[in-house]
């Protein structure tokens, strides 16, 4: 594990990304306290499946109707 402060990380970003790509973990600290962790990107765990929430989401019948007070405030109604 590599620990760098913010200014060092900014100056050595390319080298840190290279280390991360090889499997190393990089901690970035502020005043000696770790605040961020750089790790290798592994991609999504599983491919997304369209329609995963089908039947679980309901749109209200009056979804497209604007309440009178909001419509008046927007100038859509007198």
Band the pLDDT of 55: cuts 50, 70, 90.
very high
Class of domain 2-38: alpha beta
What is the edge-to-edge ordering of all strands in the sheet holding 26-30?
2-5, 26-30, 33-38
Q: What is the C-alpha to C-alpha distance for residues 63 and 72, in angstroms, rounded to an integer?
A: 17
Q: State both tokens at 75.
A: 């100038």
Band the pLDDT of 48: cuts 50, 70, 90.
confident
- Domain range annotation of the chain: 2-38
* pTM score: 0.55
Q: Does residue 47 carry a pLDDT above 90? A: no
Q: Does residue 1 carry a pLDDT above 80? A: yes
Mean local confidence (pLDDT), 3-31: 95
Band the pLDDT of 13: cuts 50, 70, 90.
very high
């Amino acid at each position: 594990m590599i620990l760098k402060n913010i200014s060092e990380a900014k100056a050595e970003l390319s080298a840190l990304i290279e280390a991360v790509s090889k499997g190393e973990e990089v901690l970035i600290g502020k005043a000696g306290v770790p605040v961020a962790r750089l790790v290798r990107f592994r991609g999504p765990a599983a491919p997304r499946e369209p329609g995963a929430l089908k039947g679980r989401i309901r749109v209200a019948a009056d979804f497209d109707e604007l309440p009178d007070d909001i419509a008046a405030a927007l100038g859509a109604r007198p």
